């Protein structure tokens, strides 16, 4: 059985329809849902078009700089030596730190919403909170002291930094699942594990992915600080533009970061669409 | 708005002067001059220790002559300080000849003779922008490289060529540098042209400026790009790589709005000369270290230096 559609009908017939605060996901009216869905679909198709357009503009701007930029600009914006490796590095850092975040935060979020360990969840959240409360630069320097320079240090530090949004969204998403739906599933003979994998997790997916997208965007932004501790990345180009007072260098660096961030956010939106159970 | 700011700054500097007078009892008979009685000046500086320190020396020396000085030291980066001078928001700040010639005046190929570079820079700047260059420091605070101390002990002292040879022979060694150093016209390219060795990307490690010194000292970088008068070279486990005259010269001068300078040119020039006279690389690095390594306040280090040279 697929969790969504029957759940919605059960929602209305169950006498104990508990007024959950986050139940909106399961009980929004069909016409509004359809319209929101149409808008979302349009956004899903429009985004890559906009990104391609931005990339094209970038290409033209970049070529113009190659033609009439000064030697400093051309040296700093060398594609093969500088920009390409830096872009790859930033994708690498953002990708792996987000993977680590998902591998840690989602299981942790599931465990912390089980009744047995509920009690300690505030403490875990406090630890995750402190990771984000520290300034990113401070966090990087602390990890530099522990792990030395390089990209792996950056990945670990950023994982801690972006842990909170995913952890909290996982917990909120699971908490938001209507208890009556779970009760119904249990009543039909599901084990607790089955109720978790077939009802709770699919229903929580949109909120969890929203957290992952937040983490991914945070990580791409923060990866521009990686250069401070020898992690490389496009931060080098941005900082070079700032230091040398050369706006074109700064603009190219920031533009590439924006392109990477937009592309990844779009991939997140696609993933959300694909992973979301039908009928929601 | 600006008057308001000036008023606050002026009252601050009066309070500061009073504080100085209060604790300056020990200075034996240095005697406040009165050559600049009633003169109002605003002194600026860039945003790093050495420039702040020299700016602060000038502030105190001018005050000692009776001037009413507003201190705007630690104003910002090079372009901020220069713009403030051109817009007459400050009257004077310390600037480097190499920077003046290449950045502000847009020239290439600076002279490798300090006196010659000073001459052409000051001549062009007064003609084009009415900026007067006054006095010149013996120290040359330029880009350079420092080797990790242990490495320098094992492999002998380095100069640019032997450093290049070592890098070529040991492909797994790294040089740590700041973000913009590989792209600056006065940066890595000069070293590469002189030694004929183009450092591959795999041997370049980009780090935050401050971390280069500690990471090179720890041996995590074999060489680090440094400023030759930085106090940390002496304080940490670092050994300067000898520069056979490759990097651009950066001797310090006071850059003045010429109209203001001309009113008391002789006094201003004498004070600048007195301050600069003993400031060689070693002395400057030592003073920088007092601030950066020992954490002494800039005002105190500047005052002590002025007392030592008999200006206070």
Fold agreement (B40-139+251-309, B143-241): yes
Q: Which of A72, A81, A229 sits opposite B184 (nearest CB)?
A: A72
Is the pLDDT at B31 greater than 60? The verdict is no
Task: Give strand ranges (E) for chain A.
Answer: none
Q: Would you call B48 an interface residue with chain A, using a CB distance cutoff of 8 Å?
A: no
* Residue A35, pLDDT above cutoff 90: no
Q: Which of A240, A247, A249 should one mutate to test binding to chain B, selecting the residue with the greatest count of B CBs within 10 A?
A: A240
CATH of domain B40-139+251-309: 3.40.190.10
Q: Which has more pLDDT, A115 or A79?
A: A79
Alpha carbon separation from B223 to A76, B38, B141, B241 (Å, rounded): 22, 51, 18, 9
Query: Which chain B residues are closer than 8 Å to A245 by Cβ?
Result: 77-79
CA distance B158 to B146: 9
Q: What six digits make up the tokens of A88?
A: 């790859």
Nearest to A243 among B176, B180, B205 (CB): B180
Which of B184, B201, B211 shows the shortest C-beta gap to A229?
A: B211
Of A123-132, A211-220, B120-129, the one with minimum mean pLDDT is A123-132
Taking each continuous run of H as one helix and of E as one strand, the counts in chain A are: 14, 0
> Quick one: pLDDT at residue B4?
53
**pLDDT average, residue stretch B282-290:** 94
Question: Tens of pLDDT along B61-94?
Answer: 999 999 999 999 999 888 899 999 999 999 999 9
Cβ-based contacts of A72 with chain B (< 8 Å): 183-185
Is A71 close to B185, i.e. CB distance below 8 A? Answer: yes
Report the chain B residue with the minimal C-alpha distance to residue A76.
B183
DSSP sequence for A139-197: HHHHHHHHH-SSHHHHHHHHHHHTHHHHHHHHHHHHHTS-HHHHHHHHHTT--HHHIII
Least confident of A20-29, B229-238, B278-287: A20-29
Alpha-carbon distance of A118 to A123, in angstroms, equals 10
User: For residue B10, what are the CA distances in angstroms to A131, A190, B59, B66, B87?
Assistant: 44, 79, 13, 14, 19
Ramachandran area for residue B72 (φ above 0: left; ψ -120 to 50: alpha; else beta): alpha
pLDDT at A277 over 60: yes
Q: What is the pLDDT of residue A21?
A: 43
Whether residue A26 is predicted with pLDDT greater than 50 in this model: the reply is: no
Residue A136 sits at the chain B interface (C-beta within 8 Å): no
Residue A9's pLDDT is: 36
Q: Give the span between the Cα atoms of A62 and B142, in whole angstroms.
A: 32
Taking only the tens place, the pLDDT of each residue in A212-224 is 999 999 999 999 9
What separation, in Å, do the N-terminal and C-terminal C-alpha atoms of chain A show? 15
Q: How do the domains of chain A map onto residue ranges?
A: 40-275
Higher-confidence residue: A274 or B223? Answer: B223
Please list the residues that pair with B176 across neighbouring strands: B205, B224
Higher local confidence (pLDDT), A69 or A150:
A150
Could you tell me the CA-to-CA distances from B233 to B86, B147, B250 in Å, in that order? Answer: 34, 10, 18
Q: Tell me: pLDDT of A1 over 80.
A: no
Instruction: List the single residue in A with minimal CA-CA distance to B176.
Output: A230
Comparison of pLDDT for B129 and A131, the residue scoring more: B129
Contact A26, A205 (CB under 8 A): no
What is the per-residue pLDDT for B30? 41
Q: CA B150 → CA B154, B158, B175, B218, distances in Å?
A: 6, 12, 15, 9
Predicted confidence at residue A31, as pLDDT, reads 67
pLDDT at B246 over 70: yes
Supply angle C-alpha B277, B60, B143, rounded to 5.
Answer: 50
CB atoms within 10 A of CB B3: 7
| Confidence check: pLDDT of B14 > 60 | no
Which has more pLDDT, A67 or B141?
B141
Which CATH class, in words, describes the domain spanning B143-241? Answer: alpha beta
Q: Residue B144: enclosing H or E segment and its boundaries?
A: strand B143-148
B82 contacts on A by Cβ (under 8 Å): none
Between the two ends of chain B, the Cα-to-Cα distance in Å is: 35
Distance from CA of A32 to the nearest CA of B (A): 51
Judged by CB atoms closer than 8 Å, whether chains meet at A149 and B215 is answered as yes
Res B27: pLDDT: 36
What secondary structure does DSSP assign to B52-106, as a single string?
A: HHHHHHHHHHHHHTT-EEEEEEEEESHHHHHHHHHTTS-SEEEEEHHHIIIIIS-
Give me the residue label for tokens 């998403």: A173
Residue whose token pair is 């089980």 = A114
If phi > 0 it is left, if psi is from -120 to 50 it is alpha, else beta; for residue B74 that is left
Q: Enumerate the residues of chain B whose CB falls inside 8 A of the CB of residue A144.
A: 211
Q: Provide φ and ψ at B83, rounded to 5°.
A: -60, -40
Contacts of A227 in chain B (CB under 8 A): 179, 206-208
Q: Do residues B255 and B135 touch, judged by C-beta distance below 8 A?
A: no
Residue A279's pLDDT is: 65
A235·B180 Cβ contact <8 A: no
Residue B165 contacts A, CB cutoff 8 Å: no
Flag whether residue A28 sits within 8 Å of chain B, measured between CB atoms: no
Q: Which helix or strand (DSSP H or E) is residue B257 part of?
A: strand B252-257
CATH hierarchy code of domain A40-275? 1.10.3720.10
Q: Is the pLDDT assigned to residue B166 strictly greater than 60?
A: yes
Asked if pLDDT for residue A3 goes beyond 70, the answer is no
Closest CA to B103 of B127, B83, B123, B88: B83
pLDDT of residue B234: 87
Nearest chain A residue to B174 by CA: give it: A230
pLDDT reading at A5 higher than 50: no
pLDDT > 90 fraction of chain A, expressed in percent and rounded: 59
In this predicted structure, the answer to whether residue B286 has a pLDDT above a threshold of 90 is yes
CB of A279 less than 8 A from some CB of B? no
Domain regions of chain B by residue span? 40-139+251-309, 143-241
pLDDT of residue B79: 84
How far off is chain A from B78, nearest CA to CA, in Å? 10
Mapped onto helix, strand or coil, the DSSP state of residue B35 is coil
User: Tokens 């000369």 correspond to what residue?
Assistant: B273
Report d(CA A256, CA A175) in Å as an integer. 38
Residues 47 to 76 of A: which have CB under 8 A from any B CB?
A: 71-72, 75-76
Asked if A70 and A257 count as a contact pair (C-beta separation under 8 A), the reply is: no
């Amino acid at each position: 059985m697929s969790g969504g559609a029957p759940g919605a009908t059960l929602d209305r017939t169950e006498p104990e329809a508990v007024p959950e605060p986050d139940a909106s996901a399961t009980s929004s009216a069909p016409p509004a849902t359809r319209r929101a869905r149409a808008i979302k679909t349009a956004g899903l198709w429009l985004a890559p078009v906009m990104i391609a357009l931005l990339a094209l503009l970038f290409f033209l701007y970049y070529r113009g700089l190659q033609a009439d930029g000064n030697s400093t600009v051309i040296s700093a914006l060398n594609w093969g030596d500088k920009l390409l490796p830096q872009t790859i590095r930033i994708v690498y850092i953002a990708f792996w730190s987000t993977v680590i975040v998902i591998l840690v935060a989602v299981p942790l979020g599931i465990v912390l919403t089980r009744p047995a360990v509920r009690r300690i969840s505030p403490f875990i959240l406090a630890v995750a909170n402190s990771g984000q409360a520290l300034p990113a630069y401070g966090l990087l320097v602390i990890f530099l002291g522990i792990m030395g320079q390089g990209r792996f240090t950056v990945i670990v530090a950023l994982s801690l930094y972006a842990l909170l949004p995913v952890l909290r969204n996982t917990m909120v998403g699971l908490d938001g699942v209507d208890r009556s739906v779970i009760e119904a599933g249990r009543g039909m003979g599901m084990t607790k594990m089955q109720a978790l994998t077939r009802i709770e997790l699919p229903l929580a997916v949109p909120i969890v992915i929203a957290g992952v997208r937040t983490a991914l965007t945070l990580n791409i932004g923060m990866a521009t600080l990686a250069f401070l501790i020898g992690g490389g990345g496009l931060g080098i180009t941005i900082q070079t533009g700032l230091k040398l007072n050369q706006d074109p260098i700064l603009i190219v660096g920031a533009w590439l970061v924006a392109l990477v961030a937009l592309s990844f956010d779009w991939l997140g939106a696609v993933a959300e669409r694909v992973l979301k159970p039908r009928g929601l | 708005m600006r008057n308001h700011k000036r008023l606050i700054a002026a009252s601050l500097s009066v309070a500061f002067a009073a504080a100085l007078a209060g604790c300056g009892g020990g200075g034996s008979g240095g005697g406040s001059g009165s050559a600049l009685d009633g003169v109002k000046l605003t002194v600026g500086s860039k945003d790093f220790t050495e420039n702040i320190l020299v700016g602060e020396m000038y502030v105190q020396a001018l005050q000692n002559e009776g001037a009413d000085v507003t201190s705007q030291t630690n104003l910002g980066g090079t372009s901020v300080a220069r713009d403030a001078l051109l817009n007459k928001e400050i009257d004077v700040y310390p600037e480097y000849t190499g920077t003046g010639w290449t950045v502000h005046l847009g020239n290439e190929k600076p002279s490798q003779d300090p006196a010659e570079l000073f001459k052409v820079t000051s001549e062009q700047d007064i003609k084009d922008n009415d900026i007067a260059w006054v006095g010149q420091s013996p120290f040359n605070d330029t880009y350079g490289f420092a080797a990790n101390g242990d490495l320098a002990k094992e492999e002998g002292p380095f100069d640019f060529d032997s450093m290049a040879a070592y890098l070529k022979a040991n492909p797994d060694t790294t040089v740590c540098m700041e973000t913009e150093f590989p792209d600056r016209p006065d940066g890595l390219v000069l070293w590469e042209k002189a030694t004929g060795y183009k450092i591959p990307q795999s041997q370049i490690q980009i780090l935050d400026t401050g971390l280069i010194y500690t990471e090179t000292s720890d041996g995590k970088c074999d060489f680090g790009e440094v400023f030759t008068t930085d106090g940390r070279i002496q304080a940490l486990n670092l050994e300067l790589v000898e520069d056979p005259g490759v990097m651009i010269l950066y001797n310090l001068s006071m850059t003045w709005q010429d109209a203001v300078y001309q009113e008391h040119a002789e006094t201003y020039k004498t004070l600048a000369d007195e301050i600069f006279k003993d400031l060689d690389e070693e002395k400057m690095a030592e003073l920088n270290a007092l601030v950066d390594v020992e954490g002494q306040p800039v005002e105190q280090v500047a005052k002590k230096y002025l007392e030592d040279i008999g200006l206070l």
